[in-house]
Amino acid sequence: MKHIIIYIVVFCGLFPVSVSAQNVHEHSDCLEDSINPMKEAILSEVTVQGIAGTQRLKDAAAPFMVVSPKLLHNAIGTNMVDAVSHLPGLAQISTGSGISKPVIRGLGYNRVVVVEQGIRQEGQQWGDEHGLEVDEEGVHSVEVLKGPASLMYGSDAIAGVMILHPEHPLEEGTMQVKVGSQYQTNNGLYDYRVGFAGNINGWLWNWHFLDKAAHCYKNKADGYVPGSWFKERDVQGMFGVNRSWGHSWLRFSRVNFTPGITEGEMVGGDFSGHSYSIFSPYQKVQHTKAVSDNAWYFGNGTLKTIIGYQQNYRREFEEEEEPELAMRLHTVNYDIKYLHTLPHDWKISAGVGGMWQRNINQGEEYLIPDYHLFDIGFFATAEWQWNKWHFSGGARFDNRHLNTSSLMEDGDLRFPALNKNFTGVTGSLGAVWNVTDKLNLRLNAARGFRAPTVSELSSNGVHEGSIQYEYGNPELKPEKSTQIDLGLDYTSHYVNLQASVFCNWIEDYIFLSRLPADKDGYRTYQYRQGDARLMGGEVSIDVHPINPLHIENAFSFVRGVQGGGGALPMMPAPRWTSDVRYEFPDFAKEHCRRSFLAFGMECNLRQSKFYAVDNTETATPGYAIFNISAGMDLHIFGHNCIELTFSCQNLLDKVYQPHLSRLKYIDTNAATGRQGISAMGRNFCIKANIPIDIHLK
C-alpha cells in the first residue's frame, strides 16, 4: 500500500490534475434540484463568468469549478469556506471553527479575490484571524476560477477568484417564504433563518434574516477549545425591477460576526466550554454593504454598471470594555463595462473598474497605519468560436496608488508616511478544442499582478491571529505571475473525468521571514520577497455503473518552491477524497423525492515539504477522516416541500491537525503537554429547509 501511495504522488507530481464541475440547476419545485454532475449534458448546460460575459463551461479555457445549491446545502461546515474547501485544488487557512480563508492551488490571503453581490469583498483579509464576513444564506451557488484572473478583477486575483452568486429572481407572479434551521452536536451550533422573496409584474425583492451561534468545539485530545465559540446575526435584502430595456437592482447586507480568539490558554483546563456566553478575548466585526447593479440593452450590446459601498468595522477586545484594536475600513467599488456580440461568432467587451479605500485606526493598539488607496484598471477582451475551437483572450492595465499616514508613539516613529504607486499589465490567451461531444481539451496562459498590501509594507506590531510580532517592508515590489494550464474533460454515460496540470511562476513573491531576535516575548518576522514556482494539478473521476450509484474519487497536489530552493510557506498537503453516493428512486407516491445516502473519505497525505527556516513551520502527519450523510425532500401540498439533511463529520472521532490550521503552531500547553490545538472531533448535523410557494394568477 505504501508503494502505491508513493506512485500516485510521483505520478501526480509529473502529471498533476483537475477541474471538477457541478451542475447548477436554477429552477425547481423544491428549493433547488440537484442534477448529477456526471450527466452527459453538464458541460453544455453550465455557464460561468467568461472574460467577455457568460459562456458555457465546456468553452472556458481557464479552469473553472461550479458548486450547485444542492451541494452547498448538503455540505458540512461552520462557515462558507468550509462548504467548498474540500473540492479539488481548494483548501482553507483556519483559526478555530468560525474563521476560514480560501486557498486556491496553494495561494491564499490577498492572492484570492472573493466576489459577493457583484463586488470584491474587502474586510482586512490580510489577517490570519480575519475571516470571510459574508451572509451564507444569501449564497445560491459558488463559482471558482483557478489561476490568475487579474484580467477580469485587477490586482490581488493572482491565485484565482471565488464568486458567490446570489439567488436568481423567482418566476413572474411568484412569491416564496422560506424558513430553515440546523443543529450541530460538537459545538452546539444552531441557526435559524427566515426569508421572503417575490416577482410581481417585474418588481423583485428577496429579503432574509439569519441568526447563528456556537459554543467552543471539542476533541479527544484537547477537550473543549477556549475561544473557538462564535455568534453571527445577518440581514440581507434585494429590491429591483426587470424590464425589456434591462434591469436595476439594489442589494443591501449587514453581517454582525463575533468570534472568540483562541490563544491556547486553558486548553484542557476546567471551564464551561459548552456555554454560549461571550468571554475575552474576542472580536466584534460589522460588515455593511450596499450595491447598485444595473444593465441596459442596446441591440446586440449590453452596458453593465456596478457601484458598491462597504464598511468593515473590526474590533478586538481583551479584558476591558473598550477595544484594544479597532479598524474601520471604507471601500467604494466600481465596475463599468460594455459587452457586444458581433457577426461570425465574435464577442467583445471593454470597461473600467477599481476601488477607493480608506482605513482608520480607532483603538489603542496598532498593527497597520491609516491609509488611502485608489485602484483603476482598463481592460478589453474578446471571444471567438470557429468550428470546434473556442478562443478567448484580453489585456488589462492597472494602477494602484497608496498613501499611508505617519504616527509617532512615545517619541518614536511607529509608522513612517509612505506614498506608493504600483502599475501592472496583465492578460490571458486560451483555446478550447471540442474534440468530440464527450471530449474537450483546453490550454490557457494568464498573467497576474498583485500590489503589496499595507500590512506587508508598513505593519509594526503584534499580530494576534498568528501570535507573532510583524514588521513591514516598504521596499517591496508587486508580485507578477505567469501561469500555464492544460486540461481535459471526458463525459460519457458511465464515466466522467476531469484533469488539469498547471505551472505558476511568480516574480517577487512576498512572504514572512523570521528575525533572529524576539520582541516583547513574541517571535518576530519581517516581509521579504523572492521568485517562486508552484506546480501541480487535480484529477477527479466519477464512475456510475448504474444510474443511482456514483463512485467519485479526486486527487489534488501542489508543490511550491522558492527560486533558490526550499518550500514556500503554507502549502496544502496532497489530498485524496473518495465518495460513494446512492440516490434512491422517488417513492410514496412522489411524496419523498431525491433521497440519497453517501459515505465519504478525505485523506490528507503527510506534508513533508514545508517552510522549515527558523522553525516557522513543521511537518504534518497524514490522516484520514470519514463522513456519512443522508437526505430527502418531503413533498406536501403539491410542490412545497421539507428538505432534510442528516450528516456526520469525522465519524471515527479522529484527532488531527490540518497543515494550514493556525492553531497548529500555538505554544505547548502545560495542561495537555501537546503543542498546538487539534481540529473538531466527531460532529453530527441536522438541517431542515421549508419553502412555501405562492403562485398568483
Contact yes or no for 163/140 (Cβ under 8 A): no
Grid coordinates representing 41?
A: 449534458
Q: Is residue 6 part of a domain?
A: no
Contact yes or no for 221/674 (Cβ under 8 A): yes
Q: Is residue 593 part of a domain?
A: yes
Contact yes or no for 89/538 (Cβ under 8 A): yes
Q: Is residue 53 part of a domain?
A: yes
Contact yes or no for 611/601 (Cβ under 8 A): no
Grid coordinates representing 343?
A: 457577426
CATH code of the domain covering residue 539: 2.40.170.20
pLDDT score, position 640: 62
Distance CA(373)–CA(120), nearest Å, equals 15
Closest C-alpha to 192, from 183, 205, 200: 183
Beta carbons within 10 angstroms of residue 209's beta carbon: 16
CA-to-CA dists, residue 584 to 36, 119, 597, 679, angstroms: 13, 40, 8, 33
| Residues 6 or more apart whose Cβ sits within 8 Å of residue 121 | 114, 115, 132, 133, 134, 310
pLDDT score, position 43: 52
pLDDT score, position 520: 80
pLDDT score, position 671: 65
Beta carbons within 10 angstroms of residue 128's beta carbon: 18
Q: Is residue 7 part of a domain?
A: no
Distance CA(674)–CA(222), nearest Å, equals 9
Distance of CA 423 to the CA centre of its chain: 26
Grid coordinates representing 500?
A: 488539469
Q: Is residue 9 part of a domain?
A: no
pLDDT score, position 4: 37
Distance CA(660)–CA(571), nearest Å, equals 8
- Mean pLDDT, each 10-residue run in order, the chain (697 residues): 36 33 35 38 65 79 85 79 87 82 92 93 86 87 89 90 91 92 95 95 95 94 90 96 95 94 67 80 94 94 96 89 91 96 90 96 90 96 93 95 91 91 95 93 94 94 77 95 94 91 96 85 89 95 89 95 87 95 77 87 93 84 95 75 91 94 77 81 94 81
Q: 373: which DSSP letter?
A: E
pLDDT score, position 426: 94
Cβ burial 187-206 (10 Å sphere, 16+ → b, else e): bbbebebbbbbbbeeeebbb
User: pTM higher than 0.95, yes or no?
Assistant: no
pLDDT score, position 267: 63
3-state secondary structure 212-247: EEECCCEECCCEECCCCCEEEEEEEEEEEEEECCEE
Residue 520, by phi and psi: left (phi above 0), alpha (psi -120 to 50) or beta?
A: left
User: What is the extent of the structural domain holding 65?
Assistant: 14-695
Contact yes or no for 106/93 (Cβ under 8 A): no
DSSP letter string over 388-415? TEEEEEEEEEEEEEEEE--EEETTEEEE
Q: Is residue 667 part of a domain?
A: yes
Rg, C-alpha atoms of the chain:
24
Q: Is residue 5 part of a domain?
A: no
pLDDT score, position 577: 95
DSSP letter string over 124-192? -TTSTT------GGG--EEEEEES--HHHH-TTTTSEEEEEEPPPPPPTTEEEEEEEEEEESSS--EEE
Q: Is residue 2 part of a domain?
A: no
Check whether the bond before 281 is cis (ω within 30° of 0): yes
pLDDT score, position 611: 85
Contact yes or no for 527/512 (Cβ under 8 A): yes
Total domains in the chain come to 1
Q: 638: which DSSP letter?
A: T
